């Protein structure tokens, strides 16, 4: 599939997440569905990372979105979603470890349904990370329509600062 572009409608896909629990001791119970259809009528920033706890994702990408959350909200963003092809338990643990609280929804695309449907999938078997991984990206979705997308290796077009400049 071709990569999703500005002007495209976000595909209907179901992701998994663990609802935020203020007690860091509580592990995720039963992951809940997060359907992309729930973004209808909202402005949502979705950023994808190749792997939880990986160096660039952990040290640069996720922290910047957490730090700039209020700025994003002030620009009209309703939700910020971090997406990876990990499972919901890993995403929950990463969110707790990074202390993102309820600001960033840590969404799991465990089967790669979202990244495949949007053309944002990459094969990282050569790095020992598996055949279905997310590319590093950020997109702004306004009422299900993609109004910005940045895909890259680093964080110059997919980081929170780049997204803020596009809002």
Q: Is 45 helix (H, G, I), strand (E, B) or coil?
A: strand
Residue showing tokens 């991984």: 133
Q: What are phi and psi of 65, to 5 degrees?
A: -65, -40
Total residues belonging to the chain: 167
Selecting among 18, 28, 57, 82, the annotated active-site residue is 57
Structure tokens at 139: 């997109």
Q: N- to C-terminal Cα distance for the chain?
A: 27
Is residue 45 within 8 Å of residue 137, measured between CB atoms?
no
Catalytic, 28? Answer no
Task: Report the distance separating Cα 48 and Cα 61, nearest Å.
Answer: 9
Task: Report the distance separating Cα 139 and Cα 89, nearest Å.
Answer: 24
Listed residue (45, 10, 77) closest to 159, CA to CA? 45
Catalytic residues: 57
């Amino acid at each position: 599939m071709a990569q999703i572009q500005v002007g495209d409608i976000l595909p209907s896909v179901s992701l998994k997440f663990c609802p935020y629990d203020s007690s860091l001791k509580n592990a995720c119970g039963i992951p809940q569905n997060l359907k992309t259809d729930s973004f209808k009528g909202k402005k949502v920033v979705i950023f994808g990372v190749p792997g939880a706890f990986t160096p660039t994702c952990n040290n640069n990408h996720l922290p910047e979105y957490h730090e700039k959350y209020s700025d994003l909200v002030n620009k009209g963003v309703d939700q910020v979603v971090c997406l990876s092809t990990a499972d919901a338990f890993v995403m929950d643990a990463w969110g707790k470890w990074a202390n993102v609280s309820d600001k960033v929804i840590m969404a799991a695309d465990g089967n790669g349904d979202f990244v495949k449907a949007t053309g944002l999938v990459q094969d990282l078997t050569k790095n020992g990370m598996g055949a279905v991984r997310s590319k590093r990206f950020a997109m702004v979705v306004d009422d299900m329509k993609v109004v910005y997308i940045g895909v890259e290796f680093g964080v110059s077009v997919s980081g929170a600062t780049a997204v803020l400049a596009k809002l």
